[in-house]
Structure 1
Amino acid sequence: MASTRIGRHVKAPRATVYRLLLDADAVARWQVPTGMTSQVHEFDPREGGAFRISLTYDEPTDTGKTTAQTDTFHGRFVRLVPDAQVVEVVEFETDDPAVTGEMTITIDLADADGGTRISAVHDGLPDGVSLEDNELGWRISLGKLAALAETGELP
C-alpha cells in the first residue's frame, strides 16, 4: 500500500475551502480529473455520513475500475473539523483484487499567505493504482478546487 501527499495554496479563506469540500454539487465539479465526468449518487456530509461517486472517462479507450469506462467509489466521513480537516475512508467498487481495499484521505486546511494551505494525504492506495496517476488526478482536482474557491468558476 502506498500514499500520495500533495499540497496547494488557495487564495480564499479556510471556511470557503472547507464548505466546497462538503458540498455535493461543488465536489461533482472539482473532484474530477480532466477527461472525466462526475456523478454524485449519495452525499451525507457529517461524521459517519456516507457518499458514493462515479467518475466516467470521456474517451472510450480508457479503462475504469468498476466498469469499462467508470470508477465508482463509496465511503464515509470519519472526521470533520470545521474549517480545518476532512477525513474520509473510501473504497472502489470493483471485483479487481489489485484495486480493492479501504483508503484514507485526509485533507488539512491551514491559514497561509492571506489564504489557505491545503495538505492532502491519500493513504492505503492499492497496488493496482498508479502513484503517478493518483498524484496527477489530485493535482488536477486541487487546481479545480482552488479556482472554484478563488473565483467561483472552474478553469
Structure 2
Amino acid sequence: MGRTDRASLLVHVSTAEAFAALTDRDALLAWLPPAGMRGRFDRFDMRTGGSYRLVLTYADASGSPGKTTADSDVSEVRVVEVVPGERVVQEVEFASDDPAFRGTMRMEWRLRPAEGGTEVEVVARDVPPGVRARDHAEGILSSLAQLAAHLEP
C-alpha cells in the first residue's frame, strides 16, 4: 500500500458551484493543471463508469522532467463514482516506462458545506513512490488555489 496525500481549501461558493467545477471539462482545464503546466483531454467522459485521458505539459520541464515524456505527464483516469454535490472518486494511472510511477492512485475530491462556502478536500491514496511527496503537495495545493481563483474571480 502506498502513501496517502491530502489537502483542503475553503472556496467561497456553493457546493453546487464547486461540484460543477470538478466535473465540467472546460472548468477542469482552467484550474486543474498545476502552475507551470497546461492541460488537454484526449477524451472526456465524466460520469460514474466513465473515463478520461489527461495530458499535462510543462511550460519548462528543465527542473521537473515529465513522467511520460521529457515535458509531459499523461494519465488514464477511470471515474469510479460521481455523487452530485458531494464527491468525485477516480483511479489514476500514469503512462510511464518508469516503474516508480506504476500503480493505481485513487483520488477522491470531497465537498462539504462550510461557513462561508464549501470545503474542498482532496485525498490521494496509493500514490506511486516516484511521485515525490513535496512535489505532489505543491501540485495539489496549486490546483486548489487555482480552483478558488476560478470560482472566485
What is the TM-score with the length of structure 1 in the denominator?
Answer: 0.94
Q: Look up the equivalent residue of 2:98 and give its one-letter code.
A: D
Shift of 1:53: 0.5
- Quick one: distance in 1 between partners of 2:24 and 2:81? 16
CA drift of 1:10 comes to 0.3
Aligned-residue sequence identity (percent) comes to 38
CA distance, structure 1, for counterparts of residue 52 and residue 39 of structure 2? 13
- Structure 1 equivalent of residue 32 of structure 2: 31
1:24, distance to aligned residue in structure 2 (A): 0.9
Cα deviation, residue 37, structure 1? 1.1
Would the alpha carbon gap of residues 113 and 56 (structure 1) be closer, same or farther in structure 2, given more than 3 Å must change? same
Pairwise CA distance, 1:126: 0.8
Q: Which digits, 9 at most, give the CA deviation of each residue in 1:85-127, with x for residues without a partner? A: 1100110011110111110001110110120011110111111
Partner of 2:109: 107
Aligned match of 1:124: 126
Kindly provide the amino acid, as one letter, of the partner of residue 149 in structure 1.
Answer: L
Where structure 1 has 5 or more consecutive residues not aligned to the other structure, the ranges are none
**Alpha-carbon distance between aligned partners in 1 of 2:11 and 2:138, rounded to the nearest angstrom:** 18
Q: CA RMSD in A?
A: 0.9
Runs of 4+ in 1 over 3 A off after TM superposition: none
For the residues of structure 1 that align with 2:101 and 2:139, how far apart are their CA atoms? 16
Is the CA contact (8 Å cut-off) linking 1:3 and 1:131 kept in structure 2? no
Return the offset for 1:71.
0.3
TM-score, structure 2 length as denominator? Answer: 0.96
Q: How does 1:2-151 map to 2 (within 5 A)?
A: 2-61=3-62, 62-151=64-153
**Structure 2 gap segments, 5+ residues each:** none
Report the count of equivalent residues.
Answer: 151
For residues 68 and 147 of structure 1, the distance between their equivalents in structure 2, rounded to whole angstroms, comes to 29
